[in-house]
Structure formats: C-alpha cells, structure tokens
A and B are shown apart, each in its own frame.
Chain A
Amino acid sequence: MTTRSARDDHRLLLPLMGLLLAAAALMDQAPLWVSGTLLACLGLRIGAIYRGWGVVPRLVLVGLVVGLTVGVLANFQTLNGLQAGGTLLMAMAALKVLESRTSRDDAVLVLIGFFLCLASLLVEQSIFRLLHALLCVWLLTAALLASQRPTEASASVPLTRGSARLLLLGAPFTIVLFVFVPRLEGHFWAIPAPADEASSGLSDLMNPGAIAHLVMSDEPAFRVQFNGALPPASQRYWRAMVLEDFDGRSWRRAQALTNGAPPVLEANGSEFSYTVTLEPTQQNWLPTLDHLLRVEGVSAQRLHDDMLIVSSESSDKQATITSLTRYQAVSAPAARVNALELSDFERSRQTRLPADSAPKARAMAVTLRTQLPSDTAYIERVLALFHEQNFQYTLDPPPLTLDPVDEFLFSTREGFCEHYAMAFTVLMRLAGIPARVVVGFQGGELNHYAGYLLIRQSHAHAWSEVWLNGQGWIRVDPTSVVAPERIRRDLAGGPQRASAQNSALFESSWALSAREGIDAIRNLWKQAIIGFSAQSQSNLLERLGWKGLPAQGLVLALAIGMMLAGGVLYVLQNLALKRQAQDPVQQAWLAMGTRLAARGMTRAPHEGPLDFSRRLGEQWPSQSAAITDLTQRYLKLRYENQTDPLLQRNFIRDARRYRPRGRPRA
C-alpha cells in the first residue's frame, strides 16, 4: 500500500464535484429526500477520503438499493419517464458514491455524471442548461483524466486545462454532427412529458381562476417578429381559442367544429405580416391577430371563422404542438368585415345558456334590454354597470361556489379578466345577443435589441365578442372598463408583472434592457438551435449546394463534414503542440521580437539574441537600454540554466509589458 498525498485526495474530489453539479440540475425534479440522500452519500465519501471513515457494509448497500427503488416507485407510481427515471438515476448515483473505491469506480461515477447531464437536457433545452451541462462535462472530463493518469504524472499537468482542450477538440465534430445527422421531427426519444406540462398555458376549458395562475408565470408563450410596422398597441389581441359552450360554470370549446372561411374584408385596414415562434403548448391552437387573412409554414386549418388548429397530415386527428413551431401569418386587425347574416343555427348556438343558471342576472338582463332601444345601447349600459358598481380587478378573487355568474355580479364583485369575460358574455346571451368568449393573449413586450414582441404566459387574457348585425363579430373587452391600467400597462409596452413587489426593480431601465438582452439571446438560441428542424436542415443543405438530396446525400455530407472536422482538429492539435513545445520564457521573448519587428526591427531567424541586441543598440539607441537588459535576463534564463521562478516570472512579465517607442534608424 502506498500512502496517498493530500494532492491525490483532492483529485478524488473531482468526480464527486462533477456529479453534484450534474445532479443539481435535476434536483428541482426530484423529491427532497433523494437530493438529501445524494448529499449525505457525498458527505460520507468525503469523510472516507479525508478522515478515513469506514466502508459501508455490502448488506446495507443492498438494503439501500431496494429501499430507494421502492421509495421512488412509491413517489411516482412508475420507474419510467423523465422524472421517475432521473430520480432513480440520482438515487443510484448516490449509492455508487458510497461504494466507489478504485479509480475504475471514479470512471463509472463520471459516466453517471454524463448521464445526469443528458437527463437534465431532456428536461429543458435552454441555453443556460447547455452552459451548465458544458461546465459539468468539463469538470467530469477532468475527473476522467484524473482517474486514468498515474498519480505522479498528474502533478505536473493541469487536469482542467487538459479537459478544456479535449472538449475544444471535440467541438468541430459536434458541429458537423449537429448540422448533418438527419433530423427526426418531434421528440424521437419519446420520453413521456411531465404531467404538469400539459396544464401549463391556455386550455380549451375556462373556469373562473384558470387564467390567474398563468398570470403568475413569466414563461415565454411565443415571440412575434413583424415584417414592417407593428400594429397599434390597442390591436395587439392574440386570439387563441373561441369558447362557445357554457354549462353554468365553465366555458369550453364547441364540440362540433366547422371549417371556416377567411373573412371578407369590406374596408381594408392596413395588413400586418408577422412570424410567430410558438413554444410547445401540448395543445392545438395557434395565436394570431384578429381578422386573419392567411397563414403559412404550418399545416393548419381554419375553424369557425378565425381559429387555427394544426392538423397532422396523415389523419384527421388534431395534432398537438410538442416542439417549437414557427409560422407566418397575415392579419388585418383594424379592418371592417363584410358580415353576412348569422344563420339561425349559429344564432341559437351563440345565445344558448343552461336554462336554470344565473336567475338574478337573467332578470336584470331582461329588464335592462327592454328599457333600452338597441343592442349597442345595452352593451354600453352593461359596461357602464361594471364601471359604476365598484367592481374590483384582482388576481386573488374569492372563490365562487354555487352560481358563479350571479355570485360574481351581485356579491363578490371581485375578479379577473375571465370573470368579466364570462359575466359579460352571459349577460349578452341573456339579452339575446349572440356572444362568445375568446381566450388568448393581450399585449407583448417589445424587445428593443431584436425588434420582436415577446408574449409571456402572464399576458394571457380573456375577452368577449358580440355579433352585431351588419358589423359581424365585434371585440368587447370588459376588463378594460374595470381595470384600464391592466390594458394600458401593455399599451405602454412596459413589462407585465403580476407581482408588484418586483416592479421597482423592473422599472429601472438597465434592468429592463438586460432582461430584453437575455431574452434576445434566448430567442436566437430557440430559432437557430432548438428550431433547427428537418426543414431548416434541408434549407441549409440547399444553400450549400446540395439540392434535394436523399438520405444518402446526408450521409455523404456527414462523411465529408467529419473529414473536414478532422482536418480542423489536426491543425488545432499541431498548433497546440507547437505552443506546448515552447517554454513561457521563449514565448515572451518571441512575442517581444514580434512587437519589435512590427516597428521595423526584425531579428533574422539565425541571429543570436546577443547579436540582435547589439545591432539594435546601433540602429535604435533609444530602446537599447531596455532591450539589453531584457536580453541579458533572457540569456540567463535560457542558456545559463537559471531556474529561479522569480527571475522567470519577472522576465515574462517585463517582456510582455515592454512596448517599443519610436522607430529604428533605417
């Protein structure tokens, strides 16, 4: 047995650190007790390294394996899937830490670390995750190097630098593989998505309170890049779904959907053309501005006047959006629509209500309508009611239990956009005016760097549409009457924040611009890397001159690309070797020579340092003293076998700092 030095002990920490860093990304997914187990095991191992704590008996380990597996199974009811699988991996990694003794064990730990990185990237593919994963891989590779090197040699070679070099050398291959490996649409690894992801974002069922939780979320919903001018802020209503069926509590999408036609525009308002990049929603709506004329770049269907749903090409089954989706659309939000008469069937559907719901509201609506001359006057009266009767806008309304419409209108009077949309639409239908709820997003933050609008989940909104003869469907936003600031805030283009505590911070302009900058980077990342689809791949290949190549062409391109990457690698390697061959003293000396040469004082390759400094002394007296001094010190270090590190450091510092002044005599 050889005694290990403290330095070797530190080396044993490397895989543990890498593992911990890699696991950190999964800890928010895993239950607390698994993270705790991992930390405890790491602690025990560190104790074993430095304090010589004993080995955990094999029987205990076996017991832990069974116990942890059962625990994970109990927590998730499965071992399959990203969350359960990732958690199990973490738990087993913890046990491997306990077990590890030899350098081979360290290598296994490192491989587990790599796997944890991969799992964290499956959860989320943001640029920050990638940076974190790169950091992990760098550390883990250093640990791998440490585990593969004999103890004595490792002292002189910096592991972290070796690891960074390896990663750098691998980069060209990574790029080639990324560009040329045939892309498969969707998640080809087919990991079941976490259950809560489906519920994020708008759903096609609107309960009171359904949108409130969205407003708390800062997650981006989609980004819009306009080709040309932006529409006025008052027109930035991004419709996602039209909800028509009301059962007394919640609004939902109509069951029997009919294909719609593009609106026939009467007075053509200005058209806006824009590109939407939609985050995965696990749903099938596509947000667009009002009065959509056409949409491109996505397989979509127009349903019910103005609502879009992606449909898979193979079947009639409606598809869902599982990956970043991009499409171009043209809308004319301010245009007047040449509206035909609503069919009797449609009219009856858009005025349908459960017969026994909201008796108080029904009475009020009928009374009001009879007092007023027209539908328009009735609409204005109802909006005025909201304004006059002290309705409050709040994100935290009291729960509605029995009859939400009556309770909201006559007792609580506190609510959020969906409450107002619901109540308003019900009041319209009670008066016989065809009305429906539209959910979507309102507003958007303009990114001043990249010029796109960022729409967050917190921009989620609900409003109403009423049918007026001769005018068609007209948008009415009752929330704007009650809480104009909610709308105005977005009109001003400022950030939409649900929590007021942070508002002070986000009001300051530098924080705002930093936020915008970060989002611009994130957007670029999404567009270029995450959004690199089969389509973008074939576009890129076409631009490279391979048009319409089948899979064989892709393989050929891959081979050529790998060869090119290999060439790049070879050149890099040679450069690295060349640099390595020179000691830092010589590098500093040569760099100094380069600076002198730039001023016209070139040292011939065969010219000795002393000869050179003498020649310089004749041709360039002003620099003579400095160069003579540096040359003498260089000669000492290079030819007199001086190894004093202080001398060396000082020379390197001074030679690097030296800047020639003036020019030598011709």
Chain B
Amino acid sequence: MIPIPTGSHSLAAACAAINQIILGKERAVRLSLCCLLAGGHLLIEDVPGVGKTTLAQTLAKVLGLRYRRIQFTSDLLPADITGVSVYERDTGRFSFHPGPVFTELLLADEINRATPKAQSALLEAMEEHQVTVDGTTHALPHPFFVVATQNPSSQLGTYALPESELDRFLMCLSLGYPSADFERALLRGADRRRLIDAEPAVLNPADILSLQTQVRAVTVSEALLDYLQALVERTRDGKHALTGLSPRAALALLRAAQSWALLEGRQAVLPEDVQAVFVAVAAHRLTLDATHAQTQTVAETILKSVPIP
C-alpha cells in the first residue's frame, strides 16, 4: 500500500526538487505547481530560451507523470495531435492510433506557431478531457495537464491564441531572464537535460488526484468570497480593461487560491492567497484597448485598488 501524501510535506519536496533545476524562479515554479493541483492548464509565455520547456519537463518528471511533447508548427494538422484511424489489412477494419494528446502531461511547445485550426484541436481535449476522432469519442487519462508555451505575439510567424482558448488556461506565467547570480550558477552547473533524467519522481498520478481533491476541500469563508467578488467586479467596471473576468475566471481564481493555500500548508483561503495567484490567473484574460499597457501591470493595479473587506 502506498501512503497517500497529505498536505505540504510532499509538496514542499516537489517544489524543492524543481527548484534545483529551474534556478531562481521559486515563485513561477510554485505557481505552476499550484495551477496543476487546481486541475488547470498552464500557459507559459516568454521569449525563447528562458527555460519554458525545461520547466514543463521538470514538472512532468518530478510529479511522476507520463509526458508527451508536440512541437507546434504552422503546418501541424489536428490529426497530428489527436491521432488517426488507420485501415488494418489483416482485420479489414479501421483501428484508432492515439496521438500524442493521450498522455498525462502534454507539452504544447510554441502553441502560437500553429494555425488556429490546429490550436482548436486542443480545445476539446483541454475542456472535456476527451477526444473525438471519426465520430468516436476517446477519453483521456486522469490526470491530464496541458502545459503550453508561447512566444510573445509580437514575434514573426505567430498566430495569437483566440480569447476562448486563452480562457481555458487557468494561469499564464512568464519566466523572464534569470538574475546574474542564478545565470552564473546555470552556466557553471551541469547540463539541465541530464539533471532532469537523474531527478527521481517525488509524486505519482494517484497523489496528484488526491491532492486535487484536497484543494477543493480547502475552506472558503464568506468574507473571502466578498473580497474575491469585489476583485472580479473591479475588472468589469470598464475603467481598467475592455472586458473583465468571466464567471469561469472567477471560479478559476477561487480554485487557484485554494490550491495556493494548500501549498502554503493552510486549510483556509486568505486574501493573501487570492492576491498571490490573481495576476497569473487574471492577466491573460483581460482585454485591453489600443494602449500598450501590459495586462500584468493592469492586473496589479486592480489588485491594489480593491480594499480587503
């Protein structure tokens, strides 16, 4: 019998393991873990080469999840993601050959390089946890995570993700350049790929599912919901963004906050938990007008403008 890891102990170990490979990005690491425990998909947006793929790989390895990777390109077809039905001469029937989406952790690398048609093939998988090919529906394994990376949309050869798809990512993170000290450590240190291979799995899929159940059980008080609703309301007042957060986003915010509270080793959500995840959850869902303000900055402004009731 495998004891079910409870609470923060195994989570702290997982965090520490990831931090050994992704240097100086404790907050981003914690948020990504938080996102996965909340049962959401993660979008990492940043310039190439800051460690997006490495983070996804490390997550898969440390969490003990089966891991597949799809490199999105402009000629990627939906079938390349979901899989195809192939005619078998021996039996004289079509049999389904599952695509890379049938895994526990899917890394969709450079998702905005593919055409909207290929991108939308991921939609059903992400939302419904199932794939329909040639009229037959195939269930995806549990747990199922999508970690997508994308380059800033100002770069050449990118197709911006539609809002509907953005909304399906619980969080959007950006890693940013490492500080000088950590970059030096990175330069001196061993090859990341080899480190990842050497990293033992701290958790397993059953642990993840159990932790996800625990997240939903974290206490949420009326006072906290007051605060959360005030925050959501503020995004919708038209002063900060063209469109505010949807009810689905509000729910996502709540789950993320519960997950963060669990990561902090608490059994109840505090306003601090909501604040910790707010920018990551809200920023990519806000639509701004033509001004060049960053959505993150706007989200932070909103956070500072709402008093805790």
Determine if B275 and A608 form an interchain contact, defined as CB atoms under 8 angstroms apart: yes
Determine if A610 and B308 form an interchain contact, defined as CB atoms under 8 angstroms apart: no
Determine if A638 and B223 form an interchain contact, defined as CB atoms under 8 angstroms apart: yes
Determine if B272 and A641 form an interchain contact, defined as CB atoms under 8 angstroms apart: no
**At the interface, yes or no: A380 with Cβ under 8 Å from chain B?**
no
- Listed by A's residue number, 17 A-B pairs whose Cβ atoms lie within 8 Å are A586-B223, A605-B307, A606-B303, A606-B308, A608-B270, A609-B270, A609-B271, A609-B308, A610-B270, A610-B272, A611-B272, A639-B219, A639-B268, A639-B269, A640-B221, A641-B221, A641-B268
* Complex CA distance for A638 and B224, rounded to whole angstroms: 8
Determine if A639 and B307 form an interchain contact, defined as CB atoms under 8 angstroms apart: no
Interface string of B195-223 (1 = CB under 8 A from A): 00000000000000000000000010101
**At the interface, yes or no: B304 with Cβ under 8 Å from chain A?**
yes
Determine if B268 and A606 form an interchain contact, defined as CB atoms under 8 angstroms apart: no
Contact of A606 among B219, B224, B270, B304 (CB under 8 A): B304
Determine if B275 and A638 form an interchain contact, defined as CB atoms under 8 angstroms apart: no
Known: A639-B221, A641-B219. Is A606-B306 also a contact (CB below 8 A)? yes
**At the interface, yes or no: B305 with Cβ under 8 Å from chain A?**
yes
Chain A residue, CB-CB nearest to B267:
A640
Determine if B269 and A608 form an interchain contact, defined as CB atoms under 8 angstroms apart: no
- Min CB distance B297 to A, Å, is 16
Interface string of A610-648 (1 = CB under 8 A from B): 110000000000000000000000010011110000000
* Complex CA distance for A225 and B268, rounded to whole angstroms: 71
- Min CB distance B141 to A, Å, is 35
Contact of B307 among A606, A609, A641 (CB under 8 A): A606
Determine if B224 and A639 form an interchain contact, defined as CB atoms under 8 angstroms apart: yes
On chain A, the residues within 8 Å of B305 by CB distance are 606
Q: How many residues of B contact A (CB 8 A)?
A: 17
* Complex CA distance for A641 and B270, rounded to whole angstroms: 12
- Min CB distance B217 to A, Å, is 13
On chain B, the residues within 8 Å of A611 by CB distance are 272
- Min CB distance A585 to B, Å, is 9
Task: Give the contacts of B140-176 with A (CB-CB under 8 A).
Answer: none
* Complex CA distance for A605 and B309, rounded to whole angstroms: 9
Determine if A640 and B219 form an interchain contact, defined as CB atoms under 8 angstroms apart: yes
Interface residues of B, Cβ cutoff 8 Å to A: 219, 221, 223-224, 267-272, 275, 303-308
On chain A, the residues within 8 Å of B221 by CB distance are 638-641
On chain A, the residues within 8 Å of B224 by CB distance are 639
- Min CB distance A582 to B, Å, is 9
On chain A, the residues within 8 Å of B219 by CB distance are 639-641
5 interchain residue pairs of minimum CB distance: A605-B307, A608-B272, A640-B268, A608-B271, A639-B221
- Min CB distance A449 to B, Å, is 50
Determine if A608 and B308 form an interchain contact, defined as CB atoms under 8 angstroms apart: yes
Chain A residue, CB-CB nearest to B275:
A608
The number of residue pairs between A and B whose CB atoms lie closer than 8 Å in the complex comes to 44
Interface residues of A, Cβ cutoff 8 Å to B: 586, 604-611, 635, 638-641
On chain A, the residues within 8 Å of B269 by CB distance are 639
- Min CB distance A643 to B, Å, is 11
* Complex CA distance for A639 and B271, rounded to whole angstroms: 9
New A-B contacts (12) at CB < 8 Å, excluding given A605-B307, A608-B275? A605-B306, A606-B304, A606-B305, A607-B308, A608-B270, A608-B272, A609-B272, A610-B272, A635-B268, A639-B269, A641-B221, A641-B268
- Min CB distance A606 to B, Å, is 5
Determine if B270 and A639 form an interchain contact, defined as CB atoms under 8 angstroms apart: yes
Known: A611-B272, A638-B221, A639-B219. Is A605-B267 also a contact (CB below 8 A)? no
Which of A606, A611, A635, A638 counts the most B-chain CB atoms under 10 A from its CB?
Answer: A606
Chain A residue, CB-CB nearest to B264:
A610
* Complex CA distance for A607 and B308, rounded to whole angstroms: 7
- Min CB distance B215 to A, Å, is 16
Chain B residue, CB-CB nearest to A636:
B268
- Min CB distance A618 to B, Å, is 16
Chain B residue, CB-CB nearest to A607:
B308
- Min CB distance B226 to A, Å, is 10
* Complex CA distance for A300 and B270, rounded to whole angstroms: 80
- Min CB distance B89 to A, Å, is 64
- Min CB distance B58 to A, Å, is 29
- Min CB distance A326 to B, Å, is 57
Known: A608-B275, A640-B219, A640-B221. Is A635-B270 also a contact (CB below 8 A)? yes
On chain A, the residues within 8 Å of B303 by CB distance are 606
On chain A, the residues within 8 Å of B275 by CB distance are 606, 608
- Min CB distance B302 to A, Å, is 10
Which of A586, A605, A608 counts the most B-chain CB atoms under 10 A from its CB?
Answer: A608
On chain B, the residues within 8 Å of A606 by CB distance are 275, 303-308
* Complex CA distance for A645 and B179, rounded to whole angstroms: 50
On chain B, the residues within 8 Å of A610 by CB distance are 270, 272
- Min CB distance B180 to A, Å, is 26
Chain B residue, CB-CB nearest to A638:
B223
- Min CB distance A612 to B, Å, is 10
* Complex CA distance for A610 and B266, rounded to whole angstroms: 12
Determine if A639 and B223 form an interchain contact, defined as CB atoms under 8 angstroms apart: yes
* Complex CA distance for A635 and B223, rounded to whole angstroms: 10
On chain B, the residues within 8 Å of A640 by CB distance are 219, 221, 267-268
Chain A residue, CB-CB nearest to B224:
A639
* Complex CA distance for A607 and B306, rounded to whole angstroms: 10
* Complex CA distance for A606 and B303, rounded to whole angstroms: 7
On chain A, the residues within 8 Å of B308 by CB distance are 605-609
Chain B residue, CB-CB nearest to A603:
B308
* Complex CA distance for A610 and B264, rounded to whole angstroms: 12
* Complex CA distance for A586 and B275, rounded to whole angstroms: 20
On chain B, the residues within 8 Å of A607 by CB distance are 308
On chain B, the residues within 8 Å of A609 by CB distance are 270-272, 308
* Complex CA distance for A610 and B219, rounded to whole angstroms: 17
On chain A, the residues within 8 Å of B304 by CB distance are 604, 606
On chain B, the residues within 8 Å of A638 by CB distance are 221, 223
Chain B residue, CB-CB nearest to A606:
B304
* Complex CA distance for A638 and B227, rounded to whole angstroms: 12
- Min CB distance A295 to B, Å, is 67
On chain A, the residues within 8 Å of B272 by CB distance are 608-611
* Complex CA distance for A64 and B206, rounded to whole angstroms: 85
* Complex CA distance for A635 and B267, rounded to whole angstroms: 11
- Min CB distance B152 to A, Å, is 29
- Min CB distance A160 to B, Å, is 28
- Min CB distance B268 to A, Å, is 4
- Min CB distance A10 to B, Å, is 32
* Complex CA distance for A268 and B223, rounded to whole angstroms: 83
* Complex CA distance for A635 and B221, rounded to whole angstroms: 10
* Complex CA distance for A639 and B257, rounded to whole angstroms: 13
Chain A residue, CB-CB nearest to B273:
A608
On chain B, the residues within 8 Å of A586 by CB distance are 223
Chain B residue, CB-CB nearest to A586:
B223
* Complex CA distance for A635 and B269, rounded to whole angstroms: 10
- Min CB distance A565 to B, Å, is 32
- Min CB distance A642 to B, Å, is 9
On chain A, the residues within 8 Å of B268 by CB distance are 635, 639-641
On chain B, the residues within 8 Å of A641 by CB distance are 219, 221, 268
Chain B residue, CB-CB nearest to A604:
B304
* Complex CA distance for A168 and B224, rounded to whole angstroms: 34
Which of B224, B267, B272 counts the most A-chain CB atoms under 10 A from its CB?
Answer: B272
- Min CB distance A637 to B, Å, is 9
* Complex CA distance for A493 and B244, rounded to whole angstroms: 82
* Complex CA distance for A607 and B267, rounded to whole angstroms: 20
Chain A residue, CB-CB nearest to B309:
A586
* Complex CA distance for A635 and B266, rounded to whole angstroms: 11
* Complex CA distance for A319 and B298, rounded to whole angstroms: 83
* Complex CA distance for A641 and B218, rounded to whole angstroms: 11
Which of A586, A606, A635, A639 counts the most B-chain CB atoms under 10 A from its CB?
Answer: A639
* Complex CA distance for A639 and B305, rounded to whole angstroms: 21
- Min CB distance A455 to B, Å, is 63
* Complex CA distance for A607 and B227, rounded to whole angstroms: 12
On chain A, the residues within 8 Å of B267 by CB distance are 640
* Complex CA distance for A167 and B197, rounded to whole angstroms: 78
- Min CB distance A29 to B, Å, is 56
On chain B, the residues within 8 Å of A639 by CB distance are 219, 221, 223-224, 268-271
